Chains A and B, each alone.
Chain A
Amino acid sequence: MTRDPVLIFTDKGIYCPAGDFYIDPWRPVNRALITHGHADHARPGHARYLATGIAAPVMRHRLGDISIETVPYGAKLTLGMATVSFHPAGHVPGSAQIRVEVGGEIWVVSGDYKLEDDGLSTPFEPVRCHAFVTESTFGLPVFRWRPQAQVGAEINAWWRSSLAEGRTPMLGAYALGKAQRLLSLLDTGIGPVLTHGAVENTNRVMRSQGITLPDTVPVTADTRIADHPGALVLATPSAFGSAWARKFGKLSTGFASGWMQLRGVRRRRAADRGFVISDHADWDGLNRAIKESQAENIYVTHGYTDIFTRWLNTQDLEAHVVPTEFDGETLDEAEA
């Protein structure tokens, strides 16, 4: 008799037959285990959600009135015939790799992850397993990140030089995770940080769950830039070029994303500056995480799946492309 695999890839998402649940499904299901609150992982419409206690507040904020159970990192739950636990993925606060064990066989679904400790998220922990489902957003050797302190210093230098030129620096980043990480890197000795509503909403959720963030000044209809000398504006990319952005006078614009590594992308964004900082693992990070998982079977999703799979196969690993309806995030979508 042949046994079902621990996890199978269906048109609704990753499914565990032994436990009758899905991980980050993209169509409504009865039971959804969610790695983290980004929109391409936590979708609306499931009957029951399960996530870490740290991830849950943002999910409630984004998805409204959902039925959600929470679990601390490392705690073991029994779902049907499966044993399930959540482990830090280091991607954004509360993000998890989900470990599923059935009859002694262990699979881990990474969700999105990064290896560098960003000071806000619980740092990534390798989890030993037989099969590892990994993202590959930046699965090419041209993507290598520098330590975040260096990038932070670069952003602060730009903040100062923009002010010296009489311009207001406006920094674009995704509202959940990246914005707060940048906030923690900004030198608030230079001036106040004004925040766009989408960023501030997430700040508020995180502060209320006990995550410490520097003070910010939410931008309202009455905000006048003249009242906030030396300010930097932290906004979502969608706010750039909008009527909202015009009230800050002459701008110097910057984007913070791993894609800023590529000159073509920097130029297409038409921002003055691009800062290379990502909440995803770089090439070396992906390879290290895979090695430390000690998995023999690797399932590659979310990114440069074909290329990265071919690369892993040359490294004596048994790697497969996960068929998915979505290409994961490309540089033109949210860096979720």
Chain B
Amino acid sequence: MKEFARLFTRIDQSTKTNVKVAALAAYFASAPEADRLWTVALFSGRRPKRAVTTTRLREWAAEAAGYPLWLFEEAYPIVGDLAETIALFLPPAQTDSDHGLTHWINMLRGLSEVEEPRRKLAVLAAWDELDATSRFLFNKLITGGFRIGISQKLMTRALAQATGKDEAELAHRLMGDWSPDTTTYNALIEAEVPGADASRPYPFYLAYGLEDAPETLGAPNAWRAEWKWDGIRGQLILRGGTHYVWSRGEELMTDRFPELARALDFLPDGTVLDGEILAWDGAPMPFNALQKRIGRKSVPKSLLRAAPVILYAYDLLEDAGADLRALPFGMRRARLQALLADLPKDAPVRLSPQLPFEDWATLALARSTAREVRAEGLMLKRADSPYLAGRKKGDWWKWKLDPLTIDAVMIYAQQGQGRRANLFTDFTFAVWQGNELIPFTKAYSGLTDAEFRQITAWVRKNTQHRFGPVRQVTPAHVFEIAFEGIHESPRHKSGVALRFPRMSRWRQDKPVQEANTLEDLKEMLRSFG
């Protein structure tokens, strides 16, 4: 673990991307193969199955340190990270060991087969032979979430540096349904012909938001426009007589959307489509409908009827088994249109339309009607653009609608986690109903660190009540809350729920009496819900 801990420390101690990548590349060049493979797996979101619940970890840590559990529970929100809280809460280790990363992962995986008392002994023994950083990493292996400023993209770049292979090729190799149990470092990264993995998707090409006026993009005729849908970006793969559905977050979601299996009846083998998974009743349904499907691994029949999904396709990445990504978008689109031309109305795949336009002004007008078709705005794609890997500037842009906003009063505050432990960053907001303030949303982003510090100092002096970590504060501050959508929610006292709420402005100019009302919110629900 020490070599991995040194790697972690070097990455964690630097704020500079190239230093992090160089540290990781050096590790890939020297660490044992098994550790390398696990490192790739961890930094691409794969982790060993959780062997111990966080509840047990907390209890054991308090017990091992000789302190009451409540003291641990108080320290946790202040530290902001469970793995770190445990590492710091325990007294220093009594012994020392030099087992590698793979040893500890295998040890953890073995735990799911033994009874709890033995599991506990093994975890306590591990804590007592790992130094503080290794102990933190060991805990992270259990709890998951290696967020240490190394994205999959940077990890891929480091691998490219260490192996001399092309970054885009490596990105493709790392996709798909592999785990350290189903492959080796050599097969995954080094082998000349990558193991034929029928499930492997292509890395998604992601667009940046357009910040300037579209006129800055140049001549309109070089561009194609389509609606930007509010669903789940997905890739539908038809290979070897079966199908796979991948989300943009590289989650395999085949079983969640069984409707898409019927694509095999209409489309040839060796097809890969990029598009939006949407709940569909002849037109896109509100995101709310799709939301009910997202969390469920198996779908009851009633839900399949209430919120059936389709893939609204907008790009063709593979046709007859050939990778089309290098072709210009215009040509890929033409082949996509041909492929989907004769599909029956009930096919689970449909063609997302393009919007014809002569000049940017016409397109701006179309964009302003996006909410009416339940779109978030427009996508602009250069007609000659290849399908690139990852988020790249230049050829693809999302041109979203301006968010909806409402002025609301802050009524509860809670400390943040991780980077923002010790600052009050999580707030609950309310609007007026008569003389009463009705909570309707939480938000925890959108302010600068300086503003969070300012509001934190204020919260400390203006707390009225404490409920565990939550503080009720004097209603005194108005914030403009921006959000992307609004829908009905019987679970909330206000009757509404917001999409992507965040604080867009601290309205220090506004007295609380002038914040919006619940009636204003309901009006927005009627217009946009």
Contact = CB atoms under 8 A, between A and B. Distances in A.
A332 B423 contact: yes
Nearest to B466: A306
Given A141-B89, A327-B460, A264 B13 contact: no
A268 interface: yes
Given A140-B75, A268-B449, A272-B13, A262 B422 contact: yes
Interface stretch (B76-84, B271-279, B361-369): B76-84
B74 A140 contact: yes
Contacts of A331: 422
A265 B75 contact: no
A272 B461 CA distance: 32
A278 to B, nearest CB: 14
Nearest to B72: A141
Given A141-B67, A263-B81, A268 B89 contact: no
Interface string A221-234: 00000000000000
Given A142-B88, A330-B422, A331-B422, A264 B456 contact: no
Interface in A71-130: none
A272 B460 contact: no
A263 B422 contact: no
Residue of A141, A261, A310 with most chain B CB atoms under a 10 A cut-off: A141
Given A142-B79, A272-B14, A261 B88 contact: yes
B32 interface: no
Interface stretch (B221-229, B289-297, B413-421, B511-519): B413-421
Contacts of B78: 140, 142, 262, 304
A142 B423 CA distance: 18
A332 B415 CA distance: 14
B80 A272 contact: no
Interface of B: prevailing SS: helix
Contacts of B457: 332
A322 B474 CA distance: 22
A61 interface: no
Contact of A264 (B65, B74, B81): B81
B466 to A, nearest CB: 8
Interface in A304-336: 304, 307, 310-311, 314, 325, 327, 330-332
Interface in B418-470: 418-423, 449, 453, 456-457, 460-461
A267 interface: yes
B13 A268 contact: no
Interface string A266-295: 011011110000000000000000000000
Interface hub of B70, B80, B421 (most chain A Cβ within 10 A): B421
Interface residues of A, number: 27
Contacts, number: 73
A139 to B, nearest CB: 10
Interface string B160-202: 0000000000000000000000000000000000000000000
Interface string B295-331: 0000000000000000000000000000000000000
A314 B62 CA distance: 15
A13 to B, nearest CB: 16
Given A141-B67, A142-B89, A261-B88, A273 B13 contact: yes
Interface string A132-143: 000000001111
A267 B419 contact: yes
A11 B456 CA distance: 22
A251 to B, nearest CB: 11
Find the residue from A273, A310, A330, A332 having the highest chain B CB count within 10 A. A332
B66 to A, nearest CB: 9
A62 B92 CA distance: 41
Contacts of A141: 65, 67, 71, 75, 88-89
- Most A CB atoms within 10 A — which of B68, B71, B85, B449? B71
A265 B421 CA distance: 7
Given A141-B65, A142-B88, A265 B422 contact: yes
Contacts of B80: 262, 264
B447 to A, nearest CB: 13
B71 A311 contact: yes
Contact of B420 (A261, A264, A311): A264
Contacts of A142: 75, 78-79, 85, 88-89
Contacts of A332: 422-423, 453, 456-457
Given A141-B65, A142-B89, A263 B84 contact: yes
B30 interface: no
B402 interface: no
A264 B15 contact: no
A291 to B, nearest CB: 16
B414 to A, nearest CB: 15
B15 A270 contact: yes
B12 interface: yes
B64 to A, nearest CB: 12
Nearest to B149: A267
Contact of B418 (A143, A264, A270, A330): A264
A311 B74 CA distance: 11
A208 B80 CA distance: 44
B71 A307 contact: yes
Top 7 A-B pairs, shortest CB-CB distance: A142-B88, A264-B421, A264-B80, A307-B74, A327-B460, A332-B453, A267-B419
Given A141-B88, A262-B79, A264-B418, 14 more contacts: A140-B75, A141-B67, A142-B88, A142-B89, A259-B422, A261-B88, A262-B84, A264-B422, A265-B421, A270-B15, A304-B78, A307-B71, A330-B460, A332-B457
Interface of B: 12-16, 65, 67-68, 70-71, 74-75, 78-81, 84-85, 88-89, 417-423, 449, 453, 456-457, 460-461
Interface of A: 140-144, 259, 261-265, 267-268, 270-273, 304, 307, 310-311, 314, 325, 327, 330-332
19 contacts: A141-B71, A142-B78, A142-B89, A143-B88, A144-B88, A262-B79, A262-B421, A263-B84, A264-B79, A264-B419, A264-B421, A265-B422, A268-B449, A272-B14, A272-B15, A273-B13, A332-B423, A332-B453, A332-B457
